Structure 1
């Protein structure tokens, strides 16, 4: 089913979210636009499910170009066409590992809810609400990862840093690299970019795409869904607070120090016994 290609996806209605009263949220979305990702994250939300199934079933990478067959017709997607279609920046850092460490250090404090630098091995509830949403966008729409979306990872935080600290990135190269992994046999990269692939296919002349369907409204960030996100996170935060102060039950296992002492004592007794036996024999 094509729905599996966007079950964890996220899209942005920039016109709607920029009308929010929350200045923190508005600033975050403006930073996202300034990064050069607006054309990718905010393109028309239309899905061609039959064409998507065809595309992923037949796709492969040849000499850096993604090739597939959709409705019996050959489809080729190059990095240049991909970048042009979504007006993606082609200048800047081409790998997340190249992001300066001092920028990541600064971002850890900028996004923090408490003011203390967030842990890169922690959870996103350490961050302000607007950056929790940014974390979701980066996980679901950019890196397209499956699994827990509440955990902060080095990769996700590098993506967040690029936006928050205005690091110039070659988003065309980064996103197309993820795209190639999606169609590479044996790759663990989850399949995604359903809206973007649908748009690319729709721009190929005479290609039969079948019926289109609207992207689920619940997966599009609008003024209403952002308010809902804040409400849910407020409630979850209130429920987590009492649990955070609970003390762990005392362990019934024997303390490590006692075990070491017992072993040492046993060894000493054995040596003493051996020495006595040696004297008697002598």
Structure 2
């Protein structure tokens, strides 16, 4: 389908746009005319789709001349023929790299919406409205590059500079070099210039071009389409500003406890061992990190004037644990543990009897026939 050759193209109806009431837009189109591009951008909008398909399928470059066959007929297009057909300037810079850097620097401020020099890697919404449209024209009708048309590139901005700063350009050489890239095998240059190639082919009287088709009116810049362009970009700009404001409103100021210096709260899980008495109570804290009580207390004081009852209980438990552990811990861990003496009521019955026997000796007759043993159970001067 030949429509793919102009799906992103733009053409200009100069008579219509020069009669607009928008002074900025009129000045921009007048600069386009002064640059020498009116014949190329404002030629009659006629397309021969079948001839276009043949031209691109069979075209090649030989000795700087584009050669193709259309309907079986040989076609040769030179740079001179190309320049004459559209009354293009043949003097001036033929390459964008030749444009003075100071002119590009000046243009960055001239086209800027804020007055500050725009970035060459930014977006065209930083430019005044007429120059946003000029950026589209340069991207779609001149350089014919695929990609984002909202992004500013060095190539597109160099083209804008040539128009805004009235840089003298050899448009015949520059545009013809783009056409040669379109027909070169392996080139990444997108195919375009549908209207211009159709008019070039019409200059060969022996060619059968078939029926012409009208170029889409939506792709021709006239009063109506320019006003639509302005309204769309105004709406997009307003939505962008509103979106930024809403995003700022949704964001909330973080509380003081969220500052990086503060220690975040962590849930603590406790395991309780079986206990036989209050003195043997031991709680084991299971957590990924040990958090000092001082650090925990500080963020709590910052977040709220008073701690909740649950927090009070946690703090009290932790203090009791710390005090218990400190009391139970040996003074010097390098010294052996001291064995605690057991009380008499903790001893087993057999051990208790043995202890009584040691403390209270029993006297018996040794090796006699007497059956009774004498036990000393009272002082000698008392009654027995």
If the length of structure 2 is used for normalisation, what is the TM-score?
Answer: 0.64
- Bigger RCO of structures 1 and 2 (CA < 8 A, at least 6 apart): 1
Corresponding residue for residue 117 of structure 1:
117
Unmatched runs of 5 consecutive residues or more in structure 2: 253-259, 261-384
- Cα distance in structure 1, aligned partners of 2:152 and 2:243: 21
3-state SS of 1:117 partner? coil
Corresponding residue for residue 66 of structure 1:
66
- Cα distance in structure 1, aligned partners of 2:65 and 2:206: 21
- Cα distance in structure 2, aligned partners of 1:216 and 1:51: 18
Map 1:215-254 → 2, pairs under 5 A: 215-245=215-245, 246=247
3-state SS of 1:155 partner? helix
* TM-fit CA distance, 1:217: 0.2
- Cα distance in structure 2, aligned partners of 1:9 and 1:244: 32
Deviations 1:210-267 (A, max 9, x none): 11001000000001100010011111111000233435989xxxx9xxxxxxxxxxxx
Corresponding residue for residue 79 of structure 1:
79
Deviations 1:6-28 (A, max 9, x none): 00000000000000000000000
Query: How many residue pairs are counted as aligned between the two chains?
Result: 251
Corresponding residue for residue 273 of structure 1:
none
3-state SS of 1:69 partner? strand
3-state SS of 1:31 partner? helix
- Cα distance in structure 2, aligned partners of 1:173 and 1:203: 20
Corresponding residue for residue 51 of structure 1:
51
- Cα distance in structure 1, aligned partners of 2:206 and 2:174: 30
* TM-fit CA distance, 1:104: 0.3
- Cα distance in structure 2, aligned partners of 1:150 and 1:175: 22
Matched, 1:30 2:25: no
- Cα distance in structure 1, aligned partners of 2:219 and 2:116: 31
- Cα distance in structure 2, aligned partners of 1:249 and 1:73: 68
- Cα distance in structure 2, aligned partners of 1:188 and 1:173: 19
Higher fraction of helix: 1
- Cα distance in structure 2, aligned partners of 1:243 and 1:116: 23
- Cα distance in structure 1, aligned partners of 2:93 and 2:127: 25
- Alignment RMSD: 1.4
Corresponding residue for residue 11 of structure 1:
11
- Cα distance in structure 2, aligned partners of 1:5 and 1:28: 26
Deviations 1:153-191 (A, max 9, x none): 000000000000000000000000000000000000000
If the length of structure 1 is used for normalisation, what is the TM-score?
Answer: 0.87
Corresponding residue for residue 141 of structure 2:
141
Deviations 1:56-98 (A, max 9, x none): 0000000000000000000000000000100000000110011
* TM-fit CA distance, 1:206: 1.9
3-state SS of 1:114 partner? coil
Could you say which structure has the larger radius of gyration? Answer: 2
Corresponding residue for residue 88 of structure 1:
88
* TM-fit CA distance, 1:147: 1.3
1:249/1:145 Cα in 2 relative to 1: closer, same or farther (>3 Å)?
Answer: farther
3-state SS of 2:207 partner? coil
